[in-house]
Amino acid sequence: MEGLHNTSTETLQQLDAMHHLHPFTDTQALNKKGTRVIERAEGVHLWDTDGNQFLDGMAGLWCVNAGYGRREIMDAVYQQMQQLPYYNTFFQTSHPPVIELAARVAELTPEHLNRVFFCSSGSEANDTVVRMVRHYWSALGKPDKKIIISRENAYHGSTMAGASLGGMKPMHKQGGLPIADIQHIMQPHWFVNGFDETPEDFGERAALALEERILELGAGNVAAFIAEPVQGAGGVIVPPATYWPLIQKICTKHDILLVADEVICGFGRTGKWFGSDEFNITADLMAIAKGLSSGYLPIGGVVVSDRVVAGLEQGGEFNHGYTYSGHPACAAAAVANIELMQRERIVETTGERIAPYFQKRLQELSAHPLVGQVRGIGLLGAIQLVPDKPGNGTFGTDGSIGGFCRDRCMDNGLIMRAVDDAMILSPPLIITEAQIDDLFTRARAGIDLAHQHWLETR
């Protein structure tokens, strides 16, 4: 096949339907409708094969933090490809890009996190976490400490371990998950689980659920607690201020490792380099991916604390690794991404100016008759659609109003995701104030249409 650049959208859709199975997709439903074929991108915008332009309110899948079309990253990858397109890091070997990336990541992460184990995705990072924390406790002569506690409605990826750690029921239903020795406690989602309490009281109650579970299982059987600083795929759930300090205390008190899944929060999304910086979390391990390379090439990793490294060193060989652990071209992309984020002070600008403006515009939507709550931090936002104000009555989980709103936004040139009936935003960090205005004008128009639809069909 001679490259499909001048092929009609219809032909592309037909080939896609015949040969391509999409992630998280009802194939039959999709193929009735046909995919939208995205062809190019620049800055915060995407274009499809029919020439329609979209403002990408999701930064791809929460990952294109530096925006599209960054020459510096492309050039770095091209140069690395010419010099050394691939070599492994298994055979007592290393290479300059992976060494540079590890050192740069260690410099950016909190002080006690200084070593990085590389992989190709967030899911692989969390698979590594499961094996690493269990191996750590084994190495210290405590092989019974192997249960990992996570949370309902968490997202930690789609591999067997990632989906098991995650708390998404529809994912567990397929393929016999979760795997053994993974437990889930309640999520700190005030709007859904704590509406009648103050957020502060609810945050404490949600954190104490961890202690209750540890006591139930016996601390001698629990290896780690894993959580996203802010839940992303679950619906941009920002925990109350009381939550993280108490979680931290409980982990310390019972000698449970604390794992921060920074796959979304990391690399500037909250307006700081890491969610751990934002919430003062001292994590023993940190999963990273997505913003690490701004999505230009697939790369992830687990950043490991000095304490955990010291334990692992007692355990001899760690029998784990990937062919593409620290892939040179992917590492070069990540180095170039970090360099440009530092040079352009993207994280600082996000935290000081862009995120506050984004949050202000987001807040304005809370007065809308269809909106029950808005929530967010940094350049993360959720707009919770509700049938009747006030109160936390939701439309249920069929997501039909959310899906309707998402489709109208798409018709109107805005990519906004729907998680059930919460509309989700996570734009590239390089978005400008004028582009944020454009984003919210389009978002409001989509919500207005969803409201009208709801009034007509209720």
Ligand X SMILES: *Cc1c(COP(=O)(O)O)cnc(C)c1O
Q: Is 384 helix (H, G, I), strand (E, B) or coil?
A: strand
CB of 126 to ligand X, least distance (A): 6
Helix 96-108 with 328-343: angle, nearest 10 deg = 40
Q: How many residues bind ligand X (CB under 6 A)?
A: 14
Instruction: By CB under 6 A, tell whether 454 contacts ligand X.
Output: no
Instruction: By CB under 6 A, tell whether 415 contacts ligand X.
Output: no
- C-alpha closest to that of 405 among 450, 451, 354: 450
Q: Which is nearer to ligand X, 155 or 225 (CB)?
A: 155
Report the C-alpha gap between 432 and 428 in whole angstroms. 10
Report the C-alpha gap between 394 and 382 in whole angstroms. 14
Instruction: By CB under 6 A, tell whether 261 contacts ligand X.
Output: yes
CB of 111 to ligand X, least distance (A): 23
Among 105, 238, 286, 289, binds ligand X (CB under 6 A): 289
From residue 434, how far is each of 59, 180, 423, 440 by CA, in Å?
17, 49, 21, 10
Residue pair 233/263 in contact by the 8 Å Cβ criterion? no
Instruction: By CB under 6 A, tell whether 59 contacts ligand X.
Output: no
Instruction: By CB under 6 A, tell whether 187 contacts ligand X.
Output: no
The binding track of 225-244 with respect to ligand X, each residue x by CB under 6 A or -, is ---x---xx-----------
For residue 285, the 8-state DSSP code is E
Q: Which is nearer to ligand X, 244 or 395 (CB)?
A: 244
Q: 399: number of CA atoms within 13 Å, CB side?
A: 11
CB of 289 to ligand X, least distance (A): 5
Among 264, 334, 370, 380, binds ligand X (CB under 6 A): 264
Q: Which residue has the tokens 């929530």?
A: 375
For residue 240, the 8-state DSSP code is P
Instruction: By CB under 6 A, tell whether 267 contacts ligand X.
Output: no
Q: Which is nearer to ligand X, 58 or 217 (CB)?
A: 58
Instruction: By CB under 6 A, tell whether 278 contacts ligand X.
Output: no
**Nearest residue to ligand X, using CB?**
122
The binding track of 98-137 with respect to ligand X, each residue x by CB under 6 A or -, is -----------------------xxx--x-----------
Q: Is 146 helix (H, G, I), strand (E, B) or coil?
A: coil
Q: Please give the angle made by the CA atoms of 65, 257 and 293, to the nearest 5 degrees.
A: 15
- C-alpha closest to that of 134 among 351, 325, 315, 302: 315
CB of 159 to ligand X, least distance (A): 7
CB of 124 to ligand X, least distance (A): 7
Which residues would be at the binding site for ligand X (CB under 6 A)? Answer: 121-123, 126, 155-157, 228, 232-233, 261, 263-264, 289
